[in-house]
Chains A and B, each alone.
Chain A
């Protein structure tokens, strides 16, 4: 087990005992990743937020089933992916009668909003970012969200070995850099 796992495990133990600050910290560390997991399943923003909440509610209900607190990250990520998948399956089934939030669902995370894309460098970056592999896009989006990259959490989200996250991140970032530096619109 890595120190990160142990840290999150400690937080869960203290949250179980009723320590609100530990719960707050646990939510703060894990939410950006759970958000990406839900979005990567193609859910609209409101649905993704709802699915993240539902997964936490299930976690609290089933705390006793989690014998090893260090497994909390993997448990939550699996629960979020399953919830998101079910939500999307339901929205497809109901497609004859599309509610507004369902029709807003997209396949690969939405483009940034128009206000952001008013920035020329953002526009150029987005154009090249979209050309990366799906794996690179997902990984870079998660890495970008967490201020102090927690490779344990990210490895759980991707089902990748802990040791390969760093090199993969490096490869994806290098590829993006090369595309950007070759683009006169970026170098301006």
Chain B
């Protein structure tokens, strides 16, 4: 499997470089059910390889990272969750907008007590839920804070930040915070906060990656998402095709299965030569194998059609195979290795 990105792109292999050398903030989005959190975690592990420090953050309050790494629910605090194979550390943070707002009030206004009084009144809940854009400014603001932390001293706290972001359908609006709060604040701290967030998000230091499956609806959402991101002048990164089946038969075999021209006698001769247990009837086995091959070929053909639609976008594409054993830590490491091999880092 080779990604469709330009052949001229240098393949970094084990060394650093890859497709996003300048990017510090990797935003990972995708339609629900496409494995966005898993891919974000694998991306973080890949970025951490070679002794780097990476922060993996989630913003939707569902503790997906904790479930993935099989740890207790994450507090609003950066915690080490995984170590990359050749050194390097992945820290994780579940950003809670209420906690972020209280932190913000304390940091800029020294209003800790007022903050807790406001919370009792429901004002914090209010500000983080309905005041247009405030919630998103807080969540993205936390990511930008992590990007900038230590930069001035020449020692950034993290080499990269990976955000497990809201789904594709909402990602452009989520990131486009300054236009979101435009109706709310023309001046004042929210405005300046959103401007400084926007400055980083629109810069080459950010890339928005979209996770998809090679199925009609997720691909359509991905294409729509790319268009929306472009329209909002947000930096589109890679498309990551997750849970790829990929052809398990030769191109000839796939074509024959698709056209209904598989040779029964040939398959059966193979079955007879394969040394299967005697209790299995070669004819039955051959029929089952052919039916399965046909279904597989139909699936591959669909993937091919959807893949062609993605290729037309000219974004780099990485492919993650379906993990037939399910997702565990081992699968995450395997996926992070594949991302490195395909030039993602």
Partners in one complex: no
